[in-house]
Amino acid sequence: MGATFDFGGKVAIVTGGGSGIGEATATEFLRSGAKVAIAGRKADRLEAAAEKMRETTGGEVFCFATDVRVQEQCQALVEAVVRHFGRLDILVNNAGGARHAALRTAPVESWRQDMALNLDSAFFCSQAAYPYLKAAAADNGQAAIVNISSMAGNGGTIGCGGYSAAKAGLQMFTRVSAAEWGPKGIRVNAVAAGMIATQLAKANWAKTGFDAAAATTAFPLRRPGEPEEVARTVLFMASDAASYITGETLIVGGGPTIKGMIDTDD
């Protein structure tokens, strides 16, 4: 598929960029002309993903091993990217993950890790990126942050209470940072992903015996989403096409699961 938007001359950071939605998002940015930095805890996974991106897009990828749960490492990431590329225009806070446990038995450490990975990380990276995004906006009119949330942050998921609460918090962080930073030309939006068939998700489905095909019969589109479908939404939110959108959360989830009273299928 060709480029969806034009990001020529722009620099983007994608956290959790070594796999899944993050990898797909970084690849789409590269196809659209951006220079991209990908961050994650495992340097070997980052470099493997980067090499694949270079081969498929011909774009310039910078890898920086980072634990986004640690504020100092987030600051180091942003500073390294600006040293390498000379600027920063877009931040995608994609790193995240869920720990499964009932609330009545969930260890405190599990709760704290859900908050650290899914919420604290976005705050740390956004705060570190702010002065450089502000400078980019002064230079070309706007800069953008896109936070990757989840439909769990909208409706909640039983067994993932910490994750659900963190993603809901991420959506409120999106609104407040958009309000505070909009006057400086920085737009902040979120994308709430539904059931997305990443490699990790498919492996977990196979391990647990989860029937994704059966589960998606409740969705109007009757299938799981693909990482690229989330990625293209991220690019829209970061692009000039969304220049008057900020503080919003856009759901990418295959449609509303609305129950009816009569059969309307023809």
Catalytically annotated residues: 163
Burial bucket for residue 211 (CB in 10 Å: 0-12, 13-18, 19+): exposed
Cα separation, 94 vs 71, in Å, equals 16
Half-sphere exposure (Cβ direction) of 112: Cα atoms closer than 13 Å: 4
